């Protein structure tokens, strides 16, 4: 049985990691850290773990207990992981980091998009972007995997087959994404206070969301040229889920049958990609609590627009579930272990 540590176990993604790990057939959480709740048990913070998981929470003041584990997840906030993760790697264990601190390969992007300088440039080059459907072979041999952001997961998965096959115009990509409030994390913030969110719907961080360069970086790797997209995120008054609607220009002579063949070619054997064939379209409730990404599309011949729709659970395939999927790959376990 794999002994697993979760650093930052009391955030939403940390909690989701634990909920998956307690039912994982080959892994168990054995050591948990939390700066805000150290000294308490995890079931005192989240009562749903009573009689299921009652481990004490510790501050990450020493790495000896972490070195006794077989695998480490870092679920610390952006900006804090970059200094903590090298210490975790020094234990000799493999690490999946769920923050954005090791996703971008160009360190000069961090001040603009995240608001801080990157202090661990050597580990940017050494990290592997943890989207299995893109980088499964590299993940298998990685020491550090940077778990993708939730919005990028919902955007990259439906776009990769189309860009790989050259059937869309890479210069004309518009992404309209909607996310539940849990994507903002557990720390209280006024814009996500219930009276501010409920019965409201808004766009935010327009033309400046930190996931934009992450999406462009990975899409550029797919099509072999520098990509620029229009990405607009929205906040929906629900707890979890992301629905992304992507507007594309399809090249001449491409019909819906050809597009479905392309998706089947690339994802027909993928364990966590599902297709919604007409008249069905993806909905957030269909993926809630799961590690699936549901994909569908409509080809509008009147405007020559291809409209692709995807849905994920932002806390599972967009965070904790994908992190477990990466751990399974890195440890040579069945990729879907604990996730179906």
Can you tell me the distance from the alpha carbon of 282 to that of 188, in angstroms, rounded to the nearest whole number? Answer: 30
Over residues 15-28, the mean pLDDT reads 98
Domains of the chain and CATH, by start: 2-148+318-330 (3.40.50.720), 151-314 (3.30.360.10)
- Predicted confidence band of residue 206 (pLDDT cuts 50, 70, 90): very high
pLDDT digits (tens, 9 = 90+) for 207-233: 999 999 999 999 999 999 999 999 999
Catalytic member of 69, 150, 197, 293: 150
- Nearest-5° Cα angle at 142, 328 to 166: 90
Closest CA to 242 of 313, 185, 322: 313
- Nearest-5° Cα angle at 186, 295 to 149: 35
Element (H, E) at 74: strand 71-74
Mean pLDDT rounded to a whole number for the chain: 95
Q: Which two tokens stand for residue 233?
A: 């995120």
User: 197 an active-site residue?
Assistant: no
pLDDT of the residue at 183 = 81
DSSP 106-169: -TTHHHHHTSS--S-HHHHHH-EE--HHHHHHHHHT-SEEEPPPHHHHHHHHHHHHHHHTT-EE
pLDDT digits (tens, 9 = 90+) for 234-251: 999 999 999 999 999 998
Can you tell me the distance from the alpha carbon of 191 to that of 30, in angstroms, rounded to the nearest whole number? Answer: 35
86: pLDDT strictly greater than 90: yes
Can you tell me the distance from the alpha carbon of 280 to that of 278, in angstroms, rounded to the nearest whole number? Answer: 5
pLDDT digits (tens, 9 = 90+) for 144-172: 999 999 999 999 999 999 999 999 999 99
pLDDT digits (tens, 9 = 90+) for 43-76: 999 999 999 999 999 999 877 899 999 999 999 9
What distance lies between CA 244 and its chain's CA centroid? 14
- Predicted confidence band of residue 198 (pLDDT cuts 50, 70, 90): confident
Q: What is the pTM of this model?
A: 0.96
């Amino acid at each position: 049985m794999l002994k697993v540590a979760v650093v930052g176990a009391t955030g939403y993604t940390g909690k989701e990691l634990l909920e998956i790990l307690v039912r994982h057939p080959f892994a168990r959480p054995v050591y948990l850290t939390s700066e805000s709740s150290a000294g308490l048990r995890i079931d005192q913070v989240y009562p749903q773990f009573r009689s299921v998981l009652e481990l004490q929470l510790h501050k990450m003041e020493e790495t000896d207990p972490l070195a006794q584990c077989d695998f480490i997840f870092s679920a610390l906030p952006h900006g804090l992981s970059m200094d903590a993760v090298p210490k975790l790697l020094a234990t000799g264990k493999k690490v999946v980091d769920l923050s954005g601190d090791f996703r971008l390969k160009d360190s000069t992007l961090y001040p603009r998009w995240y608001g801080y300088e990157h202090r661990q440039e050597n580990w940017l080059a050494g990290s592997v972007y943890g989207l299995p459907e893109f980088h499964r072979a590299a993940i298998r041999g990685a020491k550090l995997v940077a778990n993708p952001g939730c919005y990028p997961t919902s955007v990259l998965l439906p776009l990769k087959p189309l860009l790989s096959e050259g059937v869309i115009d890479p210069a004309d990509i518009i992404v309209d994404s909607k996310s539940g409030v849990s994507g903002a994390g557990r720390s209280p913030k006024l814009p996500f206070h219930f009276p501010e969110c409920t019965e409201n719907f808004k766009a935010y961080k327009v033309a400046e969301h930190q996931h934009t360069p992450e999406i462009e970086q990975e899409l550029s790797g797919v099509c072999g040229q520098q990509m620029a997209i229009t990405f607009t995120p929205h906040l929906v008054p629900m707890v979890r889920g992301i629905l992304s609607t992507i507007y594309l220009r399809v090249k001449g002579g491409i019909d819906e049958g050809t597009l479905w063949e392309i998706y089947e070619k690339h994802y027909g054997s993928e364990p966590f990609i599902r297709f919604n064939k007409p008249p069905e379209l993806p909905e957030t409730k269909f993926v809630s609590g799961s590690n699936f990404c549901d994909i569908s599309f409509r080809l509008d011949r009147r405007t020559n627009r291809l409209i692709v729709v995807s849905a994920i659970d932002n806390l599972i395939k967009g965070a904790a579930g994908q992190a477990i999927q990466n751990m399974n790959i890195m440890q040579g376990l069945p990729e879907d272990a604990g996730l179906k």
